[in-house]
Structure 1
């Protein structure tokens, strides 16, 4: 099993950061909440701070556990752990993605997300509608 962390990053306008996986990557062309693989002995929060600095050149503050999703891509089992986080600083420079957006929750359904991220899109929609 591969453990991966995802950040649900919000800005001052209450928009969420999503990024599109670039050509040549698995799940290319699909949108996701940014993050990455959790290394041995690393917490999900530390992973998210490291990955966002490496992949987008931004600092974030992971704050609140949001959820977990076990997903199978064929024989590959990933456990995706999501944390709500706040954007702190830095100008976004993409490394593993070819595009990004700051989107309002109600806009998320208009994007094609990687299958493991869809559960979090649905949870955010329920939360927005007061059904969390």
Structure 2
């Protein structure tokens, strides 16, 4: 049986109601695909704590996760992931990219225009339906 990796994803909104998305850089799995930023949940770490840590490490920003959004399991062949998404507010900080080569603040109705990592797609659909 494949091991399951738990990953947290942040659906971060700014004051204009736009959502932060990021493109995975070359050399990473799913390179060139867009995702909601986040990362692997460490042992004894809550998804919210993971997101605060990952966004500080990967983008240099402070966020405030405030509500669970959904879970999605996806089989990538070599690994299964459980993606746990939380809504979060952008607090402060200047975005600087580590694991990504591009980021955008985008409106909900524009989310479908990007090529998404497969595990993120169900969340894109949910968000697009709410726009």
Using structure 1 for the length normalisation, give the TM-score: 0.96
Whether 1:33 and 2:40 are equivalent positions in the alignment is no
| CA-atom RMSD in angstroms | 0.5
Q: How does 1:108-119 map to 2 (within 5 A)?
A: 108-119=111-122
Once residues 126 and 67 of structure 1 are traced to their aligned partners in structure 2, the CA distance between those partners, rounded to angstroms, is 14
3-state SS of the aligned residue for 2:57? Answer: helix
Whether 1:88 and 2:91 are equivalent positions in the alignment is yes
- Partner of 2:57 in structure 1? 54
- Partner of 2:126 in structure 1? 123
The answer for unaligned runs of 5 or more in structure 1 is none
Once residues 78 and 28 of structure 2 are traced to their aligned partners in structure 1, the CA distance between those partners, rounded to angstroms, is 18
1:100 to 100, 103, 112: 103
By how many angstroms is 1:127 displaced?
2.0
1:88-119 residue CA offsets vs partner (Å, 9 max, x unmatched): 00000000000000000000000000000000
3-state SS of the aligned residue for 1:8? Answer: strand
1:33-71 residue CA offsets vs partner (Å, 9 max, x unmatched): 000000000000000000000000000000000000000
- Runs of 4+ aligned structure 1 residues displaced above 2 Å come to none
Aligned length: 128
Using structure 2 for the length normalisation, give the TM-score: 0.97
Once residues 47 and 75 of structure 1 are traced to their aligned partners in structure 2, the CA distance between those partners, rounded to angstroms, is 23
3-state SS of the aligned residue for 1:91? Answer: coil
